[in-house]
Amino acid sequence: MFDIQNIRKDFPILERTIYGKPLIYLDNGATTQKPRCVIEAMTEEYLNVNANVHRGVHYLSQQATELHEAARETVRQFINARTSSEIIFTRGTTESINLVASSFGQAFLRDGDEVILTQMEHHSNIVPWQLLQARTRIIIKVCPITDDGRLDIAALPALFSDRTRLVCCTYVSNVLGTVNPMADIIRLAHSREVPVLVDAAQAAPHLPIDVQQLDCDFLAFSGHKIYGPTGIGVLYGKERLLEQMPPYMGGGEMIARVSFEHTTYNALPYKFEAGTPDYVATTGLARALDYVSALGFPAIQAHEQALTSYTREQLLTIPGMRIFGPSDDAVISFLVGEIHHLDLGTLLDRLGIAVRTGHHCAEPLMQRLGIEGTVRASFALYNTTEEADALVAAIQRVRQMF
C-alpha cells in the first residue's frame, strides 16, 4: 500500500510553513525534496568516512571508494545497464548531454552531418549541439509537435538522411508532460543505424527505465530531480560507443599514464570522470534510488498518474483555463484567462503554493505554442489530492482578484 501520510513524514521540509501557510510544493519538475535517509547518508559519510576515493591505501579512502563504487552499481541496477563501466557520474543531465555533444561530436560528426532534435527539448538538449556547430558545421533538424503537444511521429522518418548521425530526444517533456514513445523512436532510428540519446531528466523519477530493453545508446538524468542531492547526475552510454569516444575533460582519475610526451587514458567509466568526483553525492543518489525502488514504480506511477489526471480535471473547471500538452505524467502547464503567468505564480506563492512560471528552459517550444510562458504544477510521489484541491481553490481566488 502507498501510505502517503507516512511517506510525507520521510521528507522533513514538507512540514514547513510559508507565510504562515503549510508549504504546498508543486515545483518537483525543477527539483524534488529529499527524504531524511538521503540527508542522513550524506551527513554520515561526512561525519565518519570522508576521504578522497580511488588509489588511497588508507582505511577511510578505501571505505569511501567502496561506497562510491557501490553507488555506481546501484545506478546500474536502477536502469538495468549491462555493466557498471557504462555508468558515468556527471554533475547532472546538462553535463551528461554536453559530454556527448563534445565527445561523440569529436569522434563521429563531420561538417554536413545531421543531428535530429525535437521541438519540445529543454535548452540543455539544444544549446550543446549549437556549441558543437561552432566547431563542426553540423546540421540540426527538428521533429515538430502536434497541436495537442505530442511529437509528430509521422514527420520523423522524413527527417532522416544518409548524413543523420544521432537522434536526441526527451523521454518526458518538462513543460507538456508528454511521455514520448521512446522505444518506437529508438527502433525507427536503429532501423537506419542511427544511435539515440535519451534525456531522461523528467522520466527517471516517474517511470521505470531499462536501458537494455529500450536499447538507447545514451541516457542522461539528474540526481536532484529523483530525490537525490544536487550536483550529481548520470550518463549511461553503450560501451561500444564510449570506447570510441575521446575524453571530455582532462585531469586526475581519467588517465592511465602521463608524461609530457605521451598520455594514455584510464578504462571506462573513469576515462570520462576527470578530477575528484562528488563521492558524497553519489552515496546520496544511491540512497535516493533505493528509496524509490523500495516504494516501487507500479505504486509511484499509480499514485502520480491518478493525482495528475485528477488535478487536470479540476483545473479544467476553472473558467478561462488553458492547459498545454497532454499531462501524461506529473506535469501540468497552464494559463488562466489574461492573467500573466508571473502574477499568478507570485500570488500562488503568497498562499503557500510553490509552482514554476516562465519558459521552463524551452523557449523554442514556447515559440511553437505562441506564448511567452506558462504556470507549471509538477508532482512528486509525496503530493496529495488535498494539495491539488488547494491549488485549484487558490487559482479561483486569484481569478476573483483580477
- Residues carrying an active site annotation: 361
201 part of the interface to ligand PMP, by CB under 6 A: yes
Query: Among 19, 21, 20, 36, which Cα is nearest to 382's?
Result: 36
With contacts defined by CB under 6 A, name the span among 53-61, 88-96, 127-135, 296-304 that binds ligand PMP: 88-96
| Residue 283 touching ligand PMP (CB under 6 A) | no
| C-alpha span between 307 and 105 (Å, rounded) | 41
Q: Please, what is the minimum distance in Å from the beta carbon of residue 236 to ligand PMP?
A: 15
Q: How many CB atoms lie within 10 A of CB 110?
A: 11
Q: Alpha-carbon distance 239 to 249, whole Å?
A: 18
Backbone angles phi, psi at 267, to 5 degrees: -75, 170
Q: Interface with ligand PMP includes 124 (CB under 6 A)?
A: yes
How far, in Å, are 309, 332, 354, 357, 376 from residue 314 at the CA level?
A: 9, 12, 18, 20, 15
Contacts of the segment 61-69: beta carbons below 8 A, 24+ positions apart? 64/279, 65/279, 67/279, 67/282, 67/283, 68/277, 68/279, 68/282, 68/283
Question: Which of 271, 356 has the CB closer to ligand PMP?
Answer: 356
Q: For the CB of residue 144, give the shortest distance to ligand PMP in the complex, in Å.
A: 18
Q: How far is the CB of 48 from ligand PMP (least distance, A)?
A: 29
Q: Pick from 199, 273, 278, 328: which binds ligand PMP (CB under 6 A)?
A: 199
- Calculate the CA 15 to chain-centre distance: 26
* Nearer Cβ to ligand PMP (94/374): 94
User: What is the nearest approach in angstroms of ligand PMP to the Cβ of residue 69?
Assistant: 23
Integer Cα distance of 64 and 281 in angstroms: 12
DSSP 54: S
Residue 328 near ligand PMP by CB under 6 A: no
Q: Give the nearest distance from C-beta 333 to ligand PMP in angstroms.
A: 12
User: Which of 189, 180, 191 minimizes the C-alpha distance to 119?
Assistant: 180
222 belongs to the binding site for ligand PMP (CB under 6 A):
yes
How many residues belong to the site for ligand PMP (CB under 6 A)? 12
Q: Does 180 bind ligand PMP (CB under 6 A)?
A: no
Residue 202 binds ligand PMP (CB under 6 A): yes
**Beta strands at 196-199 and 218-222: parallel, antiparallel or unpaired:** parallel
* Three-state SS at 17: strand
Closer of 93 and 333 to ligand PMP (Cβ): 93
Among 32, 85, 103, 174, binds ligand PMP (CB under 6 A): 174
Per-residue contact track with ligand PMP, 94 to 123, x per CB under 6 A?
A: x---------------------------x-
Report how far residue 124's alpha carbon sits from residue 106's, in angstroms, rounded to the nearest whole number: 19
Quick one: which of 35, 92, 284, 325 contacts ligand PMP (CB under 6 A)? 92
CB-nearer residue toward ligand PMP: 170 or 266 = 170
- Give dist(CA 187, CA 195) in Å, integer: 10
Closer residue to ligand PMP (CB): 124 or 266? 124
The CB density around residue 31, as the number of other CB atoms within 10 Å, is 17
With binding defined as CB under 6 A, does residue 149 bind ligand PMP? Answer: no
CB of 360 to ligand PMP, least distance (A): 7
The reply to whether 90 sits near ligand PMP by the rule CB under 6 A is no
Residue in this structure with the C-alpha cell 488535498, named with its chain if needed: 386
Query: Does 217 engage in binding with ligand PMP (CB under 6 A)?
Result: no
Q: Which is nearer to ligand PMP, 122 or 238 (CB)?
A: 122
At closest approach, how far in Å is the CB of 308 from ligand PMP?
16
Amino acid at 56: G
Binding interface with ligand PMP (CB under 6 A): 92-94, 122, 124, 170, 174, 199, 201-202, 222, 361
